[in-house]
Amino acid sequence: MLIIPHPQEPFPNFYNDLNGSLQMAWKMLGRATKDRKAAFRTPVMASVSDDGPQARVLVLRAADIDRRELIFHTDTRSGKADQLGKDNRVAVTFYDAHRKIQLRINGIAQLHTSDTLADQQWRDASPNALRCFSAPLPAAPCALPSDHDGSEATRKTVAAGRQFFAVLSVGIVQLEWLYLHTHGQRRALFCWHEEQWKMQWLNP
Ligand SMILES: Cc1cc2nc3c(=O)[nH]c(=O)nc-3n(C[C@H](O)[C@H](O)[C@H](O)COP(=O)(O)O)c2cc1C
């Protein structure tokens, strides 16, 4: 019987490198804030509600490596804003199917409504991205949502939504890395401890 060997999947530089894996994680997070098509652009964030866990997709707006912080936008009237006011622990999960990398982040969320960060993020966002904040109360029952008329949003037309706009920052406490490879998976845990990353390989 002829055995055709499985072609060896190449090993990336970070394969057996804890520091390299962490750097790759930050690189992918940073890229996702600029590239709308990046897989890490739309992670799932889970929060704790009185009725159990709640998870939803959010757009990653910024990732600050020095502050170990992720930045999202949300509506102060949303369920998650209410949940985070009671319990600010969140889990954020990213997966890039092409690169076969999963990141599971645990962090502490904070809502910014009227500080310089909120003002700056509101100023820098495009009017189209801010249109939803002047919409009627999210999640309220309705006959059929009243759609916008298709006209281009402008600073003026979205201005009323500023009162409901919030920046949701997540201070990263722990980051778990998982890289899938045919030869063997690599799982690692990075914990921010005493002003530095404590890193450790884990069994996958
Ligand atoms: C691709 C995609 C991107 C989204 N981006 C955001 C976002 O940046 N901020 C946000 O609050 N909701 C976003 N949503 C909607 C949320 O997933 C969710 O439906 C909404 O925030 C209400 O969630 P909550 O009731 O748990 O607060 C997005 C949904 C999808 C599918």
Predicted TM-score of the model (pTM):
0.95
- Tell me if 122 CB under 6 Å of ligand 1: no
Q: Where are the domains of the chain?
A: 18-47+63-136+159-202
CA distances from 149 to 131, 146, 153, 154 (A): 12, 9, 10, 13
- Tell me if 84 CB under 6 Å of ligand 1: no
pLDDT tens, residue order, the chain (204 aa): 666 656 688 999 999 999 999 999 999 999 999 999 999 999 999 999 999 999 999 999 999 999 999 999 999 999 999 999 999 999 999 999 999 999 999 999 999 999 999 999 999 999 999 999 999 999 999 998 877 777 889 999 999 999 999 999 999 999 999 999 999 999 999 999 999 999 999 999
| Nearest atom within ligand 1 for CA of residue 57 | 17
Residue 186: closest CA among 98, 97, 101, 96: 101
| Nearest atom within ligand 1 for CA of residue 75 | 11
Question: How many Å apart are CA 78 and CA 69, to the nearest integer?
Answer: 21
- Domain 18-47+63-136+159-202 CATH assignment equals 2.30.110.10: yes
| Nearest atom within ligand 1 for CA of residue 59 | 8
- Tell me if 109 CB under 6 Å of ligand 1: no
